[in-house]
Structure 1
């Protein structure tokens, strides 16, 4: 595998930045590693475990290097799916394999519903498809409250509420959104509002991603092999529970991955999961 080479792709409303780690001798499909709002920087460790094929990572629109050009304040899964469609077309390497994490999994499922011919296998790891949870009303209310908190008070208070939501085990209780948020300082988060309102997680994904409704009929009929992944350590929190619900809607059994929601991380963003074991599981799932 070569060192990553950065490319840009102009799409409606944004300029995408993506990195290609090439392997000219591989006969395997290109492997696309994606998140949202996590960008390419989150997949360096995982990419290193797949030097037997070409690996592509990218920054979703509105995140890190991929700046929006339309001044929009929200990016939807449908927009991200169209971006992925255009990116895969630009690669011109035939159907790809995709490992997609979190919001990236939501976007990749939206892509497969529209363009299954572009994806051989999709491994969607813990898509936060909150709409499929039995406690959806409380969970969606909590997500909306995080967004409102961000608009009102800034990043620290909103992110503290986000951490409380995604670490809660079991169904989200009614009235969860009405509870006082944790102290941001307890998580090392800023307590002062710097005035910015462009964070792609608490400013955008908390609404557009969690509230998205998938076309499960199209997904079940797709030629793409779709595997839903669940972290062994996160099976009982919102993202793991949502992933199990998505697998049930698809009529499949989820694949269990080592670690939690970020089990593939090897120090990126200050978080370390179980990247070696995670990569081995992903390789096995892809080869099946």
Structure 2
């Protein structure tokens, strides 16, 4: 298969960089975290055997520059960016869409705003903490992350964020499982996120961040960390680190404080697949999708790995995504 073609799309307040590969109906992949389109590098070619696969860097990330670098971010605007890509790449037909983490939040807003443009949506662990019974605790977490970020800097804020994500909030009833998903067991203590294969870290390397933040391999692959990665992986890790201040400072507070229109989602649940990682049980990123699956009666599909299963189990993750997209 030949490499992807790339382009730039002018949207309100930003220019989006996107890549397209494959042939067939459109599948738009919306990344989460701070990795951008490169998060899909290990699965996009396999998905492109069945779809025209479009990936992109969300506004403010990597190659998608903001007109105003200090602009506050809104979920609705990120969802509109995805809509503009659908209009460009699939103007006459609704498309299939996948979103993970913060990208899943934008995708859900797009579904509620423009359901006519989405044939099927698969979302993996959207951090919609406002739907949870203990939402006030998570608002307090976001406030601590924000205060730490401004007072002490990026890595201390990341540590606060990671610790909060590990905690089992409990109290949410288990969802009915989809036919292809195994029965859900009761929440247990959060396991460590499954690490991706990586070189041995230097003695002074930073500790591994928990779910929704880059893996240890990505964090350690900085010039001062003494770790060698293949050129493509090293470039991805550098970009991930460069995106982190923007992600922690503006994406996390905007997206984790977003409250979806659950009534609207219920009316559109026939085209929605809610997914979580098999290894995420008991962690905060797991709970909103599980809560919504029970509320909407859709069942919950489990993907390999944890919140970063797309990185740690790319082949198996891609296989599960293809099945979920086909219904």
The residue number in structure 2 matching 1:203 is 249
What CA distance in whole angstroms lies between the structure 2 residues aligned with 1:287 and 1:168?
Answer: 34
Instruction: Tell me the TM-score normalized by structure 2.
Output: 0.74
Question: How far does residue 204 in structure 1 lie from its aligned partner after superposition?
Answer: 1.1
Question: How far does residue 200 in structure 1 lie from its aligned partner after superposition?
Answer: 2.5
The residue number in structure 2 matching 1:19 is 19
Question: How far does residue 72 in structure 1 lie from its aligned partner after superposition?
Answer: 3.6
What CA distance in whole angstroms lies between the structure 2 residues aligned with 1:139 and 1:45?
Answer: 32
Compare relative contact order (CA 8 Å, sep 6+) and give the higher one, 1 or 2: 2
Q: Deviations over 1:39-96 (max 9, x none)?
A: 1010011212213221110011111111110344321111101111111101135211
Question: How far does residue 197 in structure 1 lie from its aligned partner after superposition?
Answer: 10
Question: How far does residue 282 in structure 1 lie from its aligned partner after superposition?
Answer: 1.2
Alignment partner for residue 260 of structure 2, among 209, 214, 218? Answer: 214
2:61–2:243 Cα contact (<8 Å) kept: no
What CA distance in whole angstroms lies between the structure 2 residues aligned with 1:230 and 1:285?
Answer: 12
Question: How far does residue 171 in structure 1 lie from its aligned partner after superposition?
Answer: 4.0
Instruction: Tell me the TM-score normalized by structure 1.
Output: 0.84
1:122–1:224 Cα contact (<8 Å) kept: no
The residue number in structure 2 matching 1:179 is none
2:269–2:298 Cα contact (<8 Å) kept: no
Q: Choose 124-133 or 30-39, whichever is displaced more.
A: 30-39
Q: Deviations over 1:100-126 (max 9, x none)?
A: 100000000000001111111100000
Residues 197 and 286 of structure 1: CA distance in aligned 2, closer, same or farther (over 3 Å): closer
2:134–2:169 Cα contact (<8 Å) kept: no
What is the RMSD of the two structures over their aligned residues, measured on CA atoms?
2.3
Q: Give the SS at the match of 1:236.
A: coil
Gaps of 5+ in 2: 172-204, 209-215, 221-241
Gaps of 5+ in 1: 173-183, 191-195, 266-272
What CA distance in whole angstroms lies between the structure 2 residues aligned with 1:49 and 1:76?
Answer: 32
2:269–2:296 Cα contact (<8 Å) kept: no
The residue number in structure 2 matching 1:36 is 32
1:47 pairs with 2:44 = yes
